[in-house]
């Protein structure tokens, strides 16, 4: 710890210098400042932990729509013609969810590189909210949770549609995940 209370990392070597009679004469101390490599290593470790956590979450979240798609395809094979349109809609919704999760992953990768481009466009926030509710509706229904939304007026906002959509979906998803059934 320096006089300014800053932490510095050092690599220290100690050698004993002997006289001609093999008696200790002096100590040779060599200090190398290794603060930058240690700090870089710590930052890399934190980054790797964040990456691993994100990949685990994305992998878990991708499993659900992909399982739905494969299960629905099996139903499509054995279902009658009347059910097929509904099943195809459900497959499309699950595929869209999987694509959205992959987009979130790519967006996160860009933020890590510092090259994320924001594209602000005018968006009706009510449409965005309704789209997000539709996205999470099946999970909510599975837990007997109702999501109600009443938009009082059309509100147009300039925003990055994908980023806000991701944030709203994550909020709704967490709300459903951590709300008891019923």
Chain mean position to CA 100: 12
Count the alpha carbons within 13 Å of 23 in the hemisphere toward its beta carbon: 2
- 82: its two tokens: 């009347």
pLDDT of residue 160: 87
Q: Report yes or no: 65 and 101 within 8 Å, Cβ to Cβ.
A: yes
Residue carrying the six token digits 């790797």: 48
Q: What is the pLDDT of residues 30-48, one digit of tens each?
A: 988 888 888 888 888 988 8
122 pLDDT exceeds 90? Answer: yes
Model pTM score? 0.51
């Amino acid at each position: 710890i320096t006089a300014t209370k800053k932490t510095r990392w050092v690599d220290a070597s100690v050698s004993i210098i002997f006289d001609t009679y093999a008696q200790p004469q002096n100590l040779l101390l060599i200090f190398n400042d290794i603060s930058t490599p240690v700090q870089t290593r710590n930052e890399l470790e934190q980054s790797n932990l964040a990456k691993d956590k994100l990949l685990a979450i994305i992998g878990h979240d991708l499993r659900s729509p992909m399982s739905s798609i494969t299960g629905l395809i099996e139903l499509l094979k054995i279902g009658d013609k009347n059910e097929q349109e509904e099943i195809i809609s459900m497959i499309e919704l699950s595929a869209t969810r999987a694509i959205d999760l992959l987009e979130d992953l790519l967006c996160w990768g860009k933020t890590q590189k510092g090259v994320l481009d924001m594209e602000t466009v005018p968006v009706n926030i009510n449409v965005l909210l309704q789209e997000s509710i539709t996205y999470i509706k099946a999970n909510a229904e599975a837990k007997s949770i109702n999501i109600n939304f009443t938009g009082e007026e059309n509100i147009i906002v300039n925003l990055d549609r994908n980023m806000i959509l991701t944030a709203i979906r994550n909020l709704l998803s967490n709300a459903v995940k951590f709300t008891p059934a019923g």
